Amino acid sequence: MIPVRNDVNKGQDLASIKNPMKKLNSILFVLFILSGNCLYSQSATVLLHVADAKTVINKNIYGHFAEHLGHCIYSGLFVGDSSQVIPNSDGVRNDIIAALKRLKVPVLRWPGGCFADTYHWKDGVGPKKERPTMINKWWGGVTEDNSFGTHDFLNMCERIGADPYLAGNVGSGTVQELSQWVQYVNGEAISPMSLWRKSNGRDKPWHVKYFGVGNEAWGCGGNMSAEYYCNIYRQYATFMTDWNNGDHIFRVASGANADDYHWTEVMMRDVPKGLLEGVSLHYYSVIDWNAKGPAAEFSRQQYFATMKQALRMEELVTKHVAIMDKYDPQKKLALVVDEWGGWYDVEPGTSPFFLYQQNTMRDAMLAGVTLNIFNNHCDRVRMANLAQLVNVLQSVILTNKQKIILTPTYHVMEMYNVHQNAVMIPVSLSNIFYTEGNDSLPAISVSASKDEEGITHVSLVNIDPGKTNLVRIQIEGPILKLGNGRILRSARIQDHNSFDEPEKILPQSFTGAVIKNNELNVSMPPASVVVLTLL
Is the CB of residue 357 less than 8 Å from the CB of residue 286? Answer: no
Q: Are strands 210-213 and 250-257 parallel, antiparallel or unpaired?
A: parallel
H helix runs in 200-297, sequence order: 226-238, 261-270
Q: Give the residue among 24, 5, 2 at the shortest CA–CA distance from 14.
A: 24
Q: Give the residue among 218, 339, 343, 337 at the shortest CA–CA distance from 289.
A: 343
Residue 91's CB is within 10 A of a number of other CB atoms, namely 20
Q: Which residues pair with 118 in a beta bridge?
A: none
Q: Does 177 qualify as catalytic in the annotation?
A: no
Q: Rounded to the nearest 10 degrees, how much is the dihedral formed by the CA atoms of 451, 453, 456, 461?
A: -50
DSSP-assigned states of every residue in 67-111: -SSTTSTBTTTB--TT-SSS-EETTEEHHHHHHHHHHT--EEEES
Residue 229's CB is within 10 A of a number of other CB atoms, namely 24
Q: Are strands 43-48 and 427-430 parallel, antiparallel or unpaired?
A: antiparallel
Is the CB of residue 428 less than 8 Å from the CB of residue 447? Answer: no
Q: Does 216 qualify as catalytic in the annotation?
A: yes
DSSP-assigned states of every residue in 7-66: -PPP---GGGS--S-HHHHHHHHHHHHHTT--S-S-EEEEEE-GGG--EE--GGGGEEE-
DSSP-assigned states of every residue in 455-508: -EEEEEEE--SS--EEEEEEE-SS---EEEEEEE--SSTT-B--SSSTTSS--E
Is the CB of residue 267 less than 8 Å from the CB of residue 213? Answer: no
Catalytic residue among 67, 144, 277, 339: 339
Residue type, position 125, single letter: V
Catalytic residue among 67, 144, 216, 414: 216
Q: Which residues contact 243 (CB under 8 A, 6 or more apart)?
A: none
The phi, psi pair for 245, rounded to 5°, reads -105, 10
Q: Which residues contact 15 (CB under 8 A, 6 or more apart)?
A: 466, 467, 468, 525, 526
User: Which residues are tagged catalytic?
Assistant: 216, 339
